[in-house]
Amino acid sequence: MAISEQFKRSADTRPLAIEAHGLVKSFDGTRAVDGVDIAVPEGAIYGILGPNGAGKTTTLRMLLGIIDPDEGVRRVFGHDRPHEIGRLIGYLPEERGLYPAMKAIEAIAFMGALRGLSLEEGRKRGMEMLERHGLAYAATRQIRQLSKGMAQTVQLLGTLVHRPRLVVLDEPFSGLDAINQGKLEGMIRALADDGVTVIFSTHVIHHAERLREGVAIIAGGRVPYAGSVEAARDRIPAQVRLETRAREGAWLAAIPPETKRTGDFFHFALPESGVEPLLRQLIEGEAGILSLSIERAGLHDAFVAIAGEAAARQLQADTQRAAA
């Protein structure tokens, strides 16, 4: 079964905004993308998570029709030529680019004009957006006079000014401080609340985990997993942390043999039967429960299990470099 079919069956009945099967792209004889399957329902927030060089940008560009795949098919809102429906799409590339001498409001209007909006309407909408984000005072400032975070916000507003149905953001959190990252996450959620589909690439796990809907894990140009964040985390059993007063007793039979024990603490995977039978045996066996917690695996642990430790180490190194 194709990964995209798995996603469609496990997600919901919404029509697909993006659908791709078997995408392949090579550069100079090297496969940058090697058989990618992705399916993104309309109105979803969907992250493509992977280290730098994994094929994220190439995949996004193929999905948008900026470049064509060597093999495979992709459809955006049912169209197999995405560039022909560009007015429905907003795209923020990883390489930020605004004319330094252009005023903020003109930059937004210009980007809207590239998607078919009149300059007059672009200025009107642009001012409304700047006011909504507390940047009305910067409308007539040149891009070179803005901070990096403000300039990125202006470019993002220009990406949205024509009110697209699909927004594609390539590493949108790169270079933003924690405050502006939080604001961007809020903007992404607000777009989804309005029915806009948002797909973004990132090498930072907590962005994909906090936005929490769909995720494709990509490594080495392949997508070994595509589906919900919850299903990815559920691939690893929840972990139990137990502290008891008693050291011995019949209740020990409830503890799995692969348990790690440190003093009075036990660490083990939650049994498939759940926590209730475990609690019953512990109580009836007079274990003297002092504390018991159940911890679900995070997306980082799921990434390691799915993509491998080498890809996880590269992902962590990319995150540390970006934060330096």
Q: Using the predicted structure, report yes or no on whether residue 84 has a pLDDT greater than 70.
A: yes
Q: Please tell me whether residues 172 and 263 are part of one structural domain.
A: no
How does pLDDT run across 20-38, given as a tens digit for each residue?
A: 999 999 999 899 999 999 9
Last residue of a domain, one of 233, 265, 287: 233
pLDDT (0 to 100) of residue 312: 79
Instruction: Return the amino acid letter for 122.
Output: G
Q: Does 120 reside within a domain?
A: yes
Residue 317 domain-assigned (yes or no): no
* 110 and 256 both lie in a single domain: no
305 domain-assigned: no
Is there a domain that residue 182 lies in?
yes
| DSSP code, position 15 | P
pLDDT at 122: 96
Q: Which two tokens stand for residue 63?
A: 């999905």
pLDDT digits (tens, 9 = 90+) for 187-226: 999 999 999 999 999 988 888 888 767 899 998 889 999 8
Do 154 and 259 lie in one domain? The reply is no
Residue 173 vs residue 109, higher pLDDT: 109
pLDDT band at 145 (very low <50, low <70, confident <90, very high): very high
pLDDT of residue 12: 60
* CB 64 within 8 Å of CB 76: yes
Per-residue pLDDT reduced to its tens digit, 259-300? 988 877 899 888 888 889 999 999 999 999 999 999 888 888
- How confident is the model at residue 324, as a pLDDT? 62
Cβ atoms 322, 203 nearer than 8 A: yes
Percentage of residues of the chain with pLDDT beyond 70: 95
Domain contains 270: yes
Sign, Cα dihedral of 248, 254, 256, 259: negative
Provide the 3-class DSSP secondary structure of residue 176.
Answer: coil
Same domain, yes or no, for 227 and 244? Answer: no
User: In terms of domains, do 113 and 186 share one?
Assistant: yes
Q: What is the pLDDT of residue 161?
A: 96
Element holding 105 (H helix, E strand): helix 104-113
Q: Does residue 115 register a pLDDT over 70?
A: yes
DSSP 195: T
pLDDT of res. 79: 92
- In the structure, what pLDDT confidence band is assigned to residue 88 with cuts at 50, 70 and 90? very high
Q: What local confidence, expressed as pLDDT, does residue 83 receive?
A: 85
Helices 148-160 and 178-193: angle between axes, nearest 10 degrees = 10
Domain contains 193: yes
Same domain, 200 and 267: no
The β-bridge relationship of strands 71-76 and 197-202 is unpaired
Confidence of residue 323 (pLDDT cuts 50, 70, 90): low
| DSSP string for residues in 139-158 | TTSBGGGS-HHHHHHHHHHH
pLDDT at 174: 83
Interacting residues of 100 by C-beta distance below 8 A, sequence separation 6+ = 142, 143, 144
Q: Are 215 and 232 in contact (CB under 8 A)?
A: yes
DSSP 39-94: EEETT-EEEEE--TTSSHHHHHHHHHTSS--SEEEEEETTBS-GGGGGGGEEEE-S
Query: Does residue 196 sit in the same domain as residue 178?
Result: yes
Asked if the model's pLDDT at residue 96 lies above 80, the reply is no
Can you tell me the distance from the alpha carbon of 198 to that of 215, in angstroms, rounded to the nearest whole number?
Answer: 12
pLDDT at 48: 93
- 112, 125 Cβ separation under 8 angstroms: yes
SS3 (DSSP) at 22: strand
Residue 311: the pLDDT is 84
CA distances from 177 to 133, 144, 149, 257, 293 (A): 16, 19, 8, 46, 34
- Structural domain includes residue 318: no
Q: Which of 213, 233, 253 is the last residue of a domain?
A: 233
Same domain, 35 and 137: yes
Q: CA 130 to CA 139: how far, in whole Å?
A: 7
Q: Where are the beta strands (DSSP E) in 103-213?
A: 166-170, 197-202
Distance separating alpha carbons of residues 258 and 210, to the nearest angstrom: 32
CA atoms in the 13 A half-sphere facing the CB of 198:
29
In a domain, 228, yes or no: yes
Nearest partner of 238 among 295, 289, 287, 279, judged by Cα: 295
Residue 53 structure tokens? 């060089």
| pLDDT at residue 201, rounded to an integer | 93
CATH number at residue 20: 3.40.50.300
Same domain, 225 and 278: no
What distance in Å separates the CA atoms of residue 9 and residue 12, rounded to the nearest whole number? Answer: 7
Quick one: pLDDT band at residue 142, thresholds 50, 70, 90? very high
How many domains does the structure of the chain reveal?
2
On whether both 229 and 251 belong to a single domain, the answer is no
Indicate the average pLDDT of the chain. 88
Residue 49 contacts residue 209 (beta carbons within 8 Å):
no
Residue 303 has what pLDDT? 86
Q: Are residues 158 and 251 in the same domain?
A: no
Domain that holds residue 255: 239-295
Residue 188 shares a structural domain with residue 276: no
